[in-house]
């Protein structure tokens, strides 16, 4: 069998003109694999940042007694699940690389968590993370309305308002809520987040209490979401990264 | 032929691939027969497909690793594909004398009396016990205890962490011992 088998194989290769696939095919395949792993981890870093934003904001607002635990758990559970899905697929792809399968899972998971943790802070630090969070939390209706329960901010009787600044000075804000109603907001005694830029048309959220049908006493004034406005400021001042 | 020269030499002269076929033909044939239960003609067809794939994918081979592990990995993957297509019970595997002794030594901690182990009924029993193993355990026993691959090579062939390879070998050995006891082969 030996010689005839070898001859059969070499004969088949010759007859069917079988050629080895070029080396570039395999290097490109590996490259694509690594890029896809990078994309999974890049998005995971954003999600890690979202979790951090949500957590810090939630605990920052606790003393106002305005938000229940469901506001903390609902978006965070969704982000956490998405984060786990991204880590799962990232690691699965890693195992397909020429080196990834050699490490035990626990080691890859640990390294992945460290990368995501550090990456999240870098993205936050350079402003891209919060900007992305602001964008998806404010401008994607499904996320804005369902995940972040945007409509819950349309509740002046319960001390919550959201809308845009029409005019602002040191004592008050003229404010148009998400239904278009105009309010006078007193801000003399309010804590104003450093991430609020205090400019016309800026979208903000306010915690406080209703004094009359058109007057609201603010206790806390926040940007629409997290520190996103800071990054907008960075970009507008040319201090952020240039794409 | 040095592992690191293989790809270069085949690229220069495809006839050199015949040397690879010479070296691995019998080894891979035994591996196929022992891990699957296909007829010799089917095994030859599968082996031919394996060699054709090895030839087409030759540039995938990374000279940092063992060529033998790489070629066994391709064989392993194609055996799995073939197994999925034609899933059926595995028949008895056959072992050559030296392989049989090698396996028995790997299962026992001390020097067992060879006279007993050489008895034909016990040998049949061992073969049956291997057949009763789950497919992945059987494969790992074949790779480690019969083919004599290191844990590192097994990790490369099966694309699993080295620690997992070692754990699987231990579990497979344990299962094999239990099978031997069940089959009353512990005499």
Nearest CA in chain B to A23: B59
Check CB contact of B186 with chain A, cutoff 8 Å: no
- Please tell me the predicted confidence (pLDDT) of residue B169: 94
Mean pLDDT of A24-36: 94
Mean pLDDT of A20-39: 94
- Please tell me the predicted confidence (pLDDT) of residue A228: 41
Residues, chain B? 187
Closest chain B C-alpha to A29 CA, distance in angstroms: 10
β A215-223/A182-186 pair status: parallel
CATH code for position B141: 1.10.10.10
Cβ of A6 within 8 Å of Cβ of B60? The answer is: no
How many whole angstroms separate alpha carbon A6 and alpha carbon A36? 40
Report CA A61 to chain centroid distance, whole Å.
20
B91 in a structural domain: no
Nearest CA in chain A to B19: A6
- Please tell me the predicted confidence (pLDDT) of residue A237: 46
Report CA A221 to chain centroid distance, whole Å.
22
Which residues 97-136 on chain A approach chain B with CB closer than 8 angstroms? Answer: 98, 101-105
Instruction: From chain A, pick out residues whose CB is under 8 angstroms from the CB of B160.
Output: 101
> Can you state the angle between helices B17-35 and A2-15, rounded to 10 degrees?
110
B92 in a structural domain: no
CATH code for position B13: 1.10.1740.10
Please give the radius of gyration of chain A, using alpha carbons only, rounded to the nearest integer.
26
How many whole angstroms separate alpha carbon A56 and alpha carbon A225? 12
Question: For a pLDDT cut of 70, what percent of chain B falls above it?
Answer: 77
The more confidently predicted of residues B71 and A243 is B71
Helix and strand numbers, DSSP H then E, in chain B: 10, 0
B38 in a structural domain: yes
CB atoms closer than 10 angstroms to residue B148: 11
Do B18 and B63 share a structural domain? yes
Which residues 174-233 on chain A approach chain B with CB closer than 8 angstroms? Answer: none
How many whole angstroms separate alpha carbon A137 and alpha carbon A126? 19
List, for residues B126-158, the tens digit of each pLDDT value: 878 888 888 889 889 989 988 889 999 999 999
User: Where among B51, B86, B121 does a domain terminate?
Assistant: B86
- The total number of structural domains in chain B stands at 2
A231 confidence band (pLDDT: 50, 70, 90):
very low
The tokens for B135 are 């497919």
For an interface test with B, which of A19, A95, A101, A106 has the most B Cβ atoms less than 10 Å from its Cβ?
Answer: A101
How many whole angstroms separate alpha carbon B137 and alpha carbon B134? 5
- Please tell me the predicted confidence (pLDDT) of residue A184: 94
Q: What is the mean pLDDT of chain A?
A: 82
How many whole angstroms separate alpha carbon B179 and alpha carbon B125? 9
Cβ of A26 within 8 Å of Cβ of B60? The answer is: yes
Question: For a pLDDT cut of 90, what percent of chain A falls above it?
Answer: 31
How many whole angstroms separate alpha carbon A178 and alpha carbon A170? 23
pTM: 0.71
How many whole angstroms separate alpha carbon A37 and alpha carbon B183? 48
Do B49 and B9 share a structural domain? yes
- Please tell me the predicted confidence (pLDDT) of residue B55: 94
Do B113 and B77 share a structural domain? no
Contacts for A123 with CB less than 8 Å, ≥ 6 apart = A45, A46, A49, A129, A132
List, for residues A103-139, the tens digit of each pLDDT value: 888 888 899 899 999 999 888 888 788 778 877 877 7
Domain that holds residue B123: 97-182
- Inform me whether the pLDDT recorded for A2 exceeds 70: no
- Please tell me the predicted confidence (pLDDT) of residue A134: 75
Do B114 and B81 share a structural domain? no
- Inform me whether the pLDDT recorded for B122 exceeds 50: yes
* Partner residue facing B56 (CB), from A1, A20, A104: A20
The separation between the first and the last C-alpha atoms of chain B, rounded to the nearest angstrom, is: 45
Do B130 and B107 share a structural domain? yes
Least confident span in A73-82, A94-103, A133-142, B100-109: B100-109
Do B176 and B107 share a structural domain? yes
A24 confidence band (pLDDT: 50, 70, 90):
very high
> Can you state the angle between helices B97-107 and B162-182, rounded to 10 degrees?
100
Instruction: From chain B, pick out residues whose CB is under 8 angstroms from the CB of A104.
Output: 161, 163-164
> What number is the ipTM of this complex?
0.74
Check CB contact of A23 with chain B, cutoff 8 Å: yes
Do B104 and B73 share a structural domain? no
User: Where among B67, B86, B105 does a domain terminate?
Assistant: B86
Do B163 and B132 share a structural domain? yes
B184 confidence band (pLDDT: 50, 70, 90):
confident
- Three-state DSSP class for residue A161: strand
Do B178 and B106 share a structural domain? yes
């Amino acid at each position: 069998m030996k010689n005839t088998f070898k001859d059969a194989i070499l004969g088949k290769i010759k007859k069917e003109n079988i050629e080895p696939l070029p080396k570039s095919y395999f290097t490109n395949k590996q490259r694509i694999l690594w890029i896809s792993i990078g994309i999974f981890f890049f998005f995971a870093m954003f999600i890690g940042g979202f979790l951090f934003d949500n957590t810090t904001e939630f605990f920052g607002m606790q003393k106002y007694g305005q938000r229940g635990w469901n506001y903390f758990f609902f978006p965070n559970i969704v982000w956490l699940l998405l984060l786990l899905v991204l880590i799962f697929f990232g690691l699965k792809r890693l195992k397909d690389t020429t080196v990834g399968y050699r490490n035990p899972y626990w080691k890859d998971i640990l390294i992945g968590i460290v990368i995501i943790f550090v990456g999240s802070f870098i993205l936050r630090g350079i402003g891209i993370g919060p900007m992305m969070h602001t964008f998806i939390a404010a401008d994607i209706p499904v996320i804005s309305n369902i995940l972040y329960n945007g409509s819950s901010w349309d509740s002046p009787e319960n001390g919550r308002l959201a809308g845009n600044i029409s005019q602002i000075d040191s004592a008050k804000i003229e404010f148009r809520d998400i239904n278009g109603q105009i309010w006078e907001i007193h801000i003399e005694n309010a804590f104003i987040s450093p991430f609020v830029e205090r400019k016309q048309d800026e979208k903000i959220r306010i915690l406080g209490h209703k004094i009359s049908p058109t007057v609201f006493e603010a206790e806390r004034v926040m940007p629409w979401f997290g520190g996103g406005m800071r990054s907008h400021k960075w970009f507008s001042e040319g201090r952020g990264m240039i794409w | 032929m040095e592992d690191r020269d293989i790809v270069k030499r085949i690229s220069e002269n495809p006839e050199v691939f015949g040397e690879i076929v010479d070296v691995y033909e019998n080894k891979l044939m035994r591996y196929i027969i022992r891990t699957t239960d296909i007829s010799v003609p089917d095994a030859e067809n599968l082996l031919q497909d394996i060699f054709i794939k090895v030839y087409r994918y030759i540039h995938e081979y990374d000279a940092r690793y063992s060529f033998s592990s790489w070629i066994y990995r391709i064989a392993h993957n194609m055996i799995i594909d073939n197994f999925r297509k034609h899933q059926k019970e595995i028949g008895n595997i056959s072992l050559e004398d030296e392989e049989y002794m090698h396996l028995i030594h790997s299962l026992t901690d001390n020097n067992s009396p060879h006279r007993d182990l050489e008895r034909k009924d016990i040998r049949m029993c061992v073969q049956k016990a291997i057949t009763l193993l789950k497919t992945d355990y059987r494969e790992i026993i074949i790779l480690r205890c019969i083919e004599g691959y290191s844990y590192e090579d097994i990790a490369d062939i099966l694309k699993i962490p080295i620690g997992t390879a070692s754990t699987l070998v231990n579990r497979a050995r344990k299962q094999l011992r239990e099978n031997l006891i069940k089959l009353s082969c512990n005499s």
